[in-house]
Amino acid sequence: MKFDRSVKIAPSILSADFANFGAEIQAVEAQGADWIHVDVMDGHFVPNITFGPATCAAIRPHIKTVMDVHLMIAPVDPYIQAFADAGADVITAHVEAGPHIHRTLQAIRATGAKAGLALNPGTPAEAAAPLLDLVDLICVMTVNPGFGGQKFIHSCVQKVTELREMIGDREVHIEIDGGVDPSTAPLVAAAGADVLVAGSAVFKGGSVENPAPYGENIRAIRASV
């Protein structure tokens, strides 16, 4: 994974057909997805359950680009190796998920995966300050995690500006997750974000049988920034 700050669109398979992940991933990559965002939820850290490392391992061979695994689970540490073994390129943990985020980030990097740090909407940018040299990506949640299709929280844009300033010339991606569409993408891209996760805004209107809308939706987000 070579670092660059160009805008990357990362469709979230949370909005895909759960019975057809392999074909959905191939379709969305063929339609221009840069990364594939994989939302792991445990029904404890967030009020929803998706899937775990076995599903990640099963979908890995279908992903040609970057497998970006967003862990919305607590605790995180006992499962890091399993997600790394499943083939995750990026493993992101929440600062709110436990008392030892520093250790968690070290453990992620020790597997060889890139380490991501996610901040909920209620968590300030300063929470990332002591961790900047331990992370490869900061995920700014622009909805409260747990569900796709929620409304973008505009007060989070200022946090992106602050983080961009704090990061300086470190090779750290800023990822935006939640409510990204052609109306909100330009706000966060202008503030310094480079990875734009989008679930409902990418998958709406399309299917494996009719994937062209995926491409139109991706191009609409790209064109907006």
Q: Does the footprint of ligand DX5 cover residue 143 (CB under 6 A)?
A: yes
Q: Does the footprint of ligand DX5 cover residue 53 (CB under 6 A)?
A: no
Determine which residue in the list 149, 186, 210, 212 makes contact with ligand DX5, applying CB under 6 A. 149
Q: For the sheet with 137-141, list strands across it.
A: 8-11, 195-198, 173-177, 137-141, 114-119, 90-94, 66-72, 35-41
What is d(CA 23, CA 16) in angstroms, rounded to the nearest whole number? Answer: 10
Are 182 and 220 in contact by the 8 Å Cβ rule? The answer is yes
Q: Buried (b) or exposed (e) across 127-157, using 16+ Cβ within 10 A?
A: bbeebeebbbbbbbbbbebbbbeeebbeebb
Distance of CA 53 to CAs 70, 82, 97, 106, 210, Å? 12, 6, 18, 20, 29
Determine which residue in the list 92, 115, 128, 148 makes contact with ligand DX5, applying CB under 6 A. 148
Catalytic residue list contains 177: yes
Determine which residue in the list 176, 177, 194, 202 makes contact with Zn ion, applying CB under 5 A. 177
Q: What are phi and psi of 9, to 5 degrees?
A: -100, 125
* Catalytically annotated residue among 34, 39, 68, 89: 39
Structure tokens at 41: 């939820």
Catalytic residue list contains 39: yes
What is d(CA 55, CA 217) in angstroms, rounded to the nearest whole number? Answer: 26
Smallest distance from Zn ion to CB 109, Å: 20
C-beta closer to Zn ion: residue 35 or 214: 35
Q: Which does 143 bind (CB under 5 to 8 A by kind): Zn ion, ligand DX5, none?
A: ligand DX5
Smallest distance from Zn ion to CB 209, Å: 26
Subset of 166-205 contacting ligand DX5 (CB under 6 A): 177-180, 197-201
* Catalytically annotated residue among 42, 89, 136, 177: 177
Q: Does the footprint of Zn ion cover residue 94 (CB under 5 A)?
A: no
What is d(CA 51, CA 74) in angstroms, rounded to the nearest whole number? Answer: 14
What is d(CA 45, CA 57) in angstroms, rounded to the nearest whole number? Answer: 22
Q: Does the footprint of ligand DX5 cover residue 70 (CB under 6 A)?
A: yes
Q: Does the footprint of ligand DX5 cover residue 8 (CB under 6 A)?
A: no
Q: Which does 34 bind (CB under 5 to 8 A by kind): Zn ion, ligand DX5, none?
A: none
Which residues in this chain contact ligand DX5 in the complex, by CB under 6 A?
A: 12, 14-15, 37, 39, 70, 143, 145-146, 148-150, 177-180, 197-201
The residues annotated with a catalytic role in the active site are 39, 177
